[in-house]
Copies of this chain bind each other. A is one copy, B any other.
Amino acid sequence: MIDSSSVRSYLLGLQQRITGSIAAIDGGVFASDPWEKEPDEPLQGNGITMILEQGEVFERAGCGFSHVRGPKLPPSATQHRPELAGAPFEAMGVSLVFHPRNPYVPTVHMNVRMLVATPASGAKACWFGGGMDLTPYYGFEEDAVHFHQTCKAALTPFGEDKYPRFKKWCDEYFYLKHRNEQRGVGGVFFDDFQELGFEGSLDMMRSVADSFLAAYLPIVERRKDTPYGERERDFQLYRRGRYVEFNLVWDRGTHFGLQSGGRTESILMSMPPLASWSYQRPVEADSAEARLTSEFLVRRDWL
Enumerate chain B residues within 8 angstroms of A261, measured Cβ to Cβ. Answer: 177-178
B244 touching A248, Cβ below 8 Å: yes
B179 touching A264, Cβ below 8 Å: yes
Closest CB in chain B relative to A198 CB, distance in Å: 34
What CA separation (Å) do A255 and B178 show in the bound complex? 10
The answer to whether residues A276 and B278 also contact, given A178-B264, A179-B264, A249-B258 and a CB cut-off of 8 A, is: no
Size of the chain A interface, CB-CB below 8 angstroms: 35
A274 touching B272, Cβ below 8 Å: no
* Residues of A contacting B: mostly: mixed
The answer to whether residues A259 and B178 also contact, given A244-B244, A278-B273, A279-B269 and a CB cut-off of 8 A, is: yes
A7 interfacial by beta-carbon distance below 8 Å: no
B259 touching A249, Cβ below 8 Å: yes
Closest CB in chain B relative to A247 CB, distance in Å: 9
- Chain A residues 169 to 190 lying within 8 A of chain B, measured CB to CB, are 177-179
* B33, B244, B245: the one within 8 Å of A280 (CB): B33
10 closest Cβ contacts across the A-B interface? Answer: A248-B248, A271-B277, A178-B258, A178-B264, A274-B276, A51-B279, A248-B249, A249-B258, A265-B280, A275-B275
Q: A residues bordering B, Cβ < 8 Å?
A: 31, 33, 49, 51, 53, 60, 62, 177-179, 237, 241, 244-245, 248-249, 255, 258-259, 261-262, 264-265, 268-269, 271-280
